[in-house]
Structure 1
Amino acid sequence: PEKIEVEEHNLGQILLADRVKNTPFEVGFLTDASCKVLCKDQPIGDAQRSFLERLVKDNYQYQLIVDQLYALLRHYRADGSSAFTFGTPVGFRKGDEIFIHNHFRLLLYYHSNSDNDGQEVHRIVGFEVVPYSVRHVETPDGAVLCAREAGESGGVLGDSSLPAAPLAEEGFALGDSTKISFTYDVLWQHSNTPWSQRWDAYLKNARDNPIIHWFSIVNSLVVVLLLSGIVAMILLRVLYRDIAKYNELLVDEEEAEETGWKLLHGDVFRKPAHSTVLAALAGSGIQLVGMAFVTVIFAGLGVFSPSYRGSLLQAVLLLWTFMGAAAGYTSARLYKMFKSTNWKMTTIRTALVFPGVVFAVFFLLNLVLWMQRSSAAVSFSALVFLLLLWFGISTPLVFLGAYVGFKQQPISLPVRINKIPRQIPQQPWFMQPVLSCVVGGALPFGAMFTELFFLFSSIWQHRFYYLFGFLFLVLVILCVTCAEISITFVYFQLVCEDYLWWWRSFLCSASSGFYVLLYAVYYYHSRLKLTHATGALIYFGYSFIMAYACFILTGAIGFIASFFFLRKIYGSIKVD
């Protein structure tokens, strides 16, 4: 084109480096074309050759878009069936040689129907691209030929999983070539797919084998039912029996106080160490929980169209921003209950504990991309906009929520706290904090393991994810699992007469974040083929952000659930 124009981007597209520009392809509606020249005899210097070699070796791809539809790349399986992927590779390697895709067959599918006036209307419902590597032949008059007569043998080199390439002299090996030409064909084909279903091909991979997702859901439900049975046993048998015994008026008082979790009634709600940090983490966790549920519900209802690129990520950022009020309110209520003395520091910690770490990691990764002159680097203006969202909207909302929380009465506790702390006896080996965290984090991770694989594949292998119904079920199961596993461990901790449960209840379920990080390491070695340290750094940087978010979210759920559980059971006994 005479002028490169960049499409306007939303915040999600900017962060995803989804920058759309116009191209010199000339495509007429319902007009086929053959061997149209995109550019001719472009010189290849040493710098360009080295650059192209790197792009091919690192499996770089580009994305063509027509009418908001991504170009699909069809791959054929050995059994004759086919599947689609996204992104067109720059080239491919065969042995020690590198070949460049320099001819493209653009397949555009259209559907015809009649409008209200009876006039025939054509709409684009599909877009495929087939890349080839060809060594073009130039005629005496300067025209470029892409193929010879059909029926003659050709030596085109192409990816074996692609359809048969057009016949040509040979593939374009980069080698010592000094010039390269790019050409393309345009083929229009009628399709029975209506315009309303044109995204089905893109979402098909996300809907393949739903039995895998259902199997994961059933496994997770079994774990939830097992934990629910344990909690029910505690509530209906042990606690009911103990409460009945402790509330029996004729029971001997000394006998009632010999053993049991009731012994800790004067210490169980004692202010924990680093209470303001715990309050800030709990508030940030509630902020993430609210953001996650609202996002998944809206996505499941179809609010975020795949044609509106970047809308999902933009919604996540905006929802997290406006959920800052919930974070401030939660931390303020806990602050008043703990009777802490520095409300400003607590509120500031709530506003910084999650976004501060995330922005620091994101800025360092972006700095590396800047140094590499990568197109994925976020501009300075976008960073400023993110800071404005953080400090201009989210932080004031955190303070607003905290203000409302401080105006409320402190959360009432069912028992009085003794002035002198009770001595904690030596704990059995199975109640050691590290072991509790290792076991406690495994179950929540198991609940989301399968869906985590599909999320990683969507992010790192250019696949659509649109199974938000399954994701909602997994999110609910995750919350229930975190709550029940923390309640179970806290109860057994109290049975062992250890009343320092506050941080244990948080870390027990929060440790699932460490499992997410370990899974990221496994996924990197088993699924990804990154040849440069920069790619690995980007991958592990974003994986750390995901694991940190999971750490805070699951920890807050376990902590809040355990608190209300203890508040309920200690409120059910009579204490002098």
Structure 2
Amino acid sequence: MTKVLIGLLALCGLSQAMYLPGVAPNDYDQGNDVPLFVNSLTPMSNQQKSVLSYDYYDERFHFCAPDGGAKKQAESLGSVLFGDRIFTSAFKANKILCTSAPIPEHDADFINECIKNEYALNWVVDGLPAAHLSNDERTNEEYYSIGFALGNNRGAVAELNNHYDITVDYHHREDGKYRVVGVLVSPVSRAQKVNEKGVLVPGGGAMVLKGNDQVVYSYSVNWQPSNMPWATRWDNYLHVLDPSIHWFSLVNSIVIVLFLTGMVAMILIRALHKDISRYNAVDAQEDVQEDYGWKLVHGDVFRPPQRPMLLSVLVGSGAQIVAMTGLTLVFAALGFLSPSNRGALGTVMIIFFMVFSCISGFVSARIYKMNGGENWKANIGLTASLVPGAIMSSLFAMNLFLIHSQSSGAVPFGTMFALLGLWALIAFPLSVAGSYFGFRQPRIEHPVRTNQIPRQIPDQPMYLRSLPSIMMGGILPFGAIFIELYFIMNSIWFHRVYYGIGFLFLVFIVLILTCSQVTILMCYFHLCSEDYHWSWRSFLTSGAAGFYVFLYSILYYFTKLNISTFTSTVLYLGYSAVISILLTVFTGAVGYLSCLYFLQKIFASIKVD
């Protein structure tokens, strides 16, 4: 479910965002305990082999648990949806953690398979994720890469890392307090044992796990002073591997927008201005030129489309998603949703989605009433339930696959029912209220009357027929985002921190401009060809960007991932499909509303008998 939420924000980033800490700092005195918490195991590979995550205390791993059992930490709604499962750990002092019970052969095979799939351990110390040092090949700079390897692949042999060298960077303040500013872990595989006196006895070679073996886990802690202040401690984690590509993405998007702006400006300033002047010219001569071009369809252009109910519901839901995405990006760009505040992004997105249900109800009601719809009760119900219900049903179905795989990414049923309760208590009433005020508003009046008998549409050239024009129109919005989309998908599927929010916010604006302009452009061409069926075509022209995103996700699957299991494949394609559909609703609503505004303006500018 996390992947859908992130994907929705991403698809819907120039400067680095200002950092506003999301949590208050913890001050420690000398000798205080600094607790270490453990999180889920996630894949960490340059070519991802799985999308499943597992609880740290999954009984198949046989990791050391604290005395009295591990205690689950309270988490926000967004943190749960992001797949975080944080527990207390047995790490207390420099000592041997424990010696595991004999590990059955099937569990040993499971652990070895996780090592081969390059799973990583994820720990949390003072709100900071434990990391390992990575090297940026382009700049040769070292940065913190979140997580560290469960084991090492040595050809066909899987070595389990059972010793951890932990380095904790701390900042000594002038008031004598200490603050944690970095956590690095260097895992090692050792064939070690504990003698009768409880002393650790290193053995020769690495820990190669076989059936019924016992594993001795140990660790050491090195406290290292640092001059880095607490407020900038995330800088090491938020390393941008190649910022120039982000700039290239932004420049690429801006070039597309400038091209479209030039085309639209040329049409508005030259063609439309000339057309309107000619249409409005009062000529006393008898040889007045007959109407031609887009004025010919003035009596049919505002004819209600087929399935006005579905169109109004989708446009209303799209307006809701636009508002939710835009405001979330504003808060993220200002730094309020920084990674230090775990789960804040998901929580805020859900809250905004629920609150902005009033927008979906209002817009849907206005569009439905404009198109002559009379079944207002069905419109209210469908607007409040169709898109949220489709999302929840899809995620619930994929959650069953996660539960069957015993993955920690499975959302607990209690959380699912909590989301359903939030929808029933917040989203549904607000959507109904928005619809109520929408239907109370006067009907949107069109500048020209609609003829009773529809005008016959002449044969259209191949490139102006519905399917070719829709597919051509969807390329440009997709082209404006596809480079940034690559980084977003890396962040989602490779469990990396994405922090190019400044880039993403600008790409979001560019996407809206591109959708509106390409839809207006294609609509003008169709009107000049006397084709007045613009409603669904305008929605699908910009909405086709979602179809291209799904095609790109399939290409990404075959070129960047190495998934071989059925469950991971179903989850990947399922999440990608939900993201693509939501993007279609998002961009389609922008296209339809832009086209409606354009038509209202140009037909209000001409005189019609």
After TM superposition, the score normalised by the length of structure 1 is 0.91
Task: Supply the AA of the counterpart residue of 1:399.
Answer: V
Measured after TM superposition, the shift of residue 437 of structure 1 is: 1.5
Q: Separation in 2 of the partners of 1:487 and 1:86?
A: 45
Q: Which residue of 2 aligns with 1:67?
A: 126
Structure 2 match to 1:538: 571
8 Å contact 2:401–2:567 — kept in the other structure?
yes
Secondary structure at 1:423's aligned position in 2?
A: coil
Say whether residues 1:144 and 2:200 are aligned partners. yes
Which of 374, 382, 385 does residue 341 from structure 1 map onto? 374
Q: CA RMSD in A?
A: 1.7
SS at match of 1:125: strand
State yes or no: 1:331 paired with 2:364. yes
Deviation at 1:253, TM superposition (A): 8.0
Task: Tell me the equivalent position of 1:108.
Answer: 168
Asked if structure 1 preserves the Cα contact closer than 8 Å seen for 2:105 and 2:211, the reply is: no
Give 1:270 deviation, angstroms.
Answer: 0.3
Deviates more, 1:380-389 or 1:505-514: 380-389
> Which residue of structure 2 aligns with residue 248 of structure 1?
281
Residues 1:194 and 1:515: Cα distance change in structure 2 (over 3 Å): same
CA deviations over 1:155-189 (Å, ceiling 9, x no partner): xxxxxxxxxxxxx6211111356211100010111
Amino acid at match of 2:185: V
Give the secondary-structure state (helix, strand or coil) at the position aligned to 1:426: coil
Which stretch of the first structure deviates more once superposed, 77-86 or 528-537? 77-86
Please say if residues 143 and 237 of structure 2, whose CA atoms lie closer than 8 Å, have aligned partners that are also in contact: no
Aligned equivalents of 1:472, 1:255: Cα separation in 2: 52
User: SS of 2:145's equivalent?
Assistant: strand
**1:287 corresponds to which of 301, 306, 320:** 320
Q: Which residue, 75, 87, 95 being the options, matches 1:9?
A: 75
Conservation of the 8 A alpha-carbon contact between 1:245 and 1:251: no
Alpha-carbon contact 1:58-1:531 (below 8 Å) kept: no
Give identity over the alignment, percent. 41
Report matched runs for 1:61-210 at 5 Å. 61-76=120-135, 81-115=141-175, 120-139=176-195, 141-146=197-202, 169-176=204-211, 178-205=213-240, 208-210=241-243
Distance, in Å, in 1 between the alignment partners of 2:306 and 2:386 is: 17
Quick one: distance in 1 between partners of 2:605 and 2:421? 48
CA contact (8 A) 2:105 2:210 kept: no
CA apart distance, 1:252: 5.9
Counterpart contact for 1:110–1:126, Cα < 8 Å: yes
1:556 aligns with one of 563, 577, 589: 589
Q: Which moved more, 1:280-289 or 1:12-21?
A: 12-21
Is 1:58 equivalent to 2:91 in the alignment?
no
In structure 1, the residue corresponding to 2:215 is in which secondary structure? strand
5+ residue gaps, structure 1 = 28-32, 147-167
Q: Deviation at 1:22?
A: 0.5
Asked if the contact 1:73–1:85 (Cα under 8 Å) also holds between the matched residues in 2, the reply is yes
- Whether 1:489 and 2:548 are equivalent positions in the alignment is no
Pairing of 1:400-411 with structure 2 (within 5 A): 400-411=433-444
Q: What are the Cα deviations for residues 481-510 of structure 1, in whole angstroms up to 9, with x where unaligned?
A: 000000000000000001111111110000
- Secondary structure (helix, strand or coil) at the match of 1:353 reads helix
Question: Structure 1 counterpart of 2:321, which letter?
Answer: L
CA distance in 2, matches of 1:10, 1:176: 39
Shift of 1:80: 6.5
| Structure (1 or 2) with the larger CA radius of gyration | 1
DSSP-derived class of the 1:329 partner: helix
Q: Report the CA distance shift for 1:58/1:226 in structure 2 as closer, same or farther (over 3 A).
A: same
Match of 1:212 among 237, 245, 259: 245
State the distance in 1 between where 2:482 and 2:263 align: 23
Alignment partner of 1:509 is 2:575? no
Q: 1:44 aligns with which of 94, 99, 103?
A: 103
Q: Contact conserved, 1:107 with 1:128, CA < 8 A, in 2? A: yes
The 3 A distance-change label for structure 1 pair 260 and 540 is same
1:232 pairs, out of 246, 261, 265, with 265
Contact kept? 2:167, 2:183, Cα under 8 Å? yes
Please say which of residues 416-425 and 248-257 is displaced more in the overlay.
Answer: 248-257
* Equivalent-residue separation in structure 1 for 2:540 and 2:211 (angstroms): 59
Amino acid at match of 1:21: F
Residue of structure 2 equivalent to 1:150? none
Q: Deviations over 1:200-242 (max 9, x none)?
A: 111123xx43222122111111111111111111111111111
Deviation of the 1:139 alpha carbon = 4.6
Farther off after superposition, 272-281 or 56-65 = 56-65
CA shift in 2, pair 1:413/1:254, >3 Å: farther
Distance 2:372 2:200 in 1: 81
CA shift for structure 1 position 535: 1.4
**What's the CA shift for 1:575?**
0.4
- Displacement after TM superposition at 1:524 (Å): 1.7
Which residue does the alignment assign to 1:296?
329
The CA distance in 2 between the partners of 1:114 and 1:60, in whole Å, is 41
The answer (yes or no) to whether the contact 1:282–1:559 under 8 Å persists in 2 is yes
* 2:23 paired residue number: none
Higher relative contact order (CA closer than 8 Å, sequence separation 6+) = 2
State the Cα distance separating 1:3 from its structure 2 match: 2.8
Deviations 1:448-493 (A, max 9, x none): 1111111111111111112211111101100000000000000000
SS at match of 1:110: strand
Q: Is 1:525 aligned to 2:584, yes or no?
A: no
Partner of 2:423: 390
Query: Deviation digits for residues 365-389 of structure 1, max 9, x if unmatched?
Result: 1011122222221111111111112
Partner residue of 2:91? 25
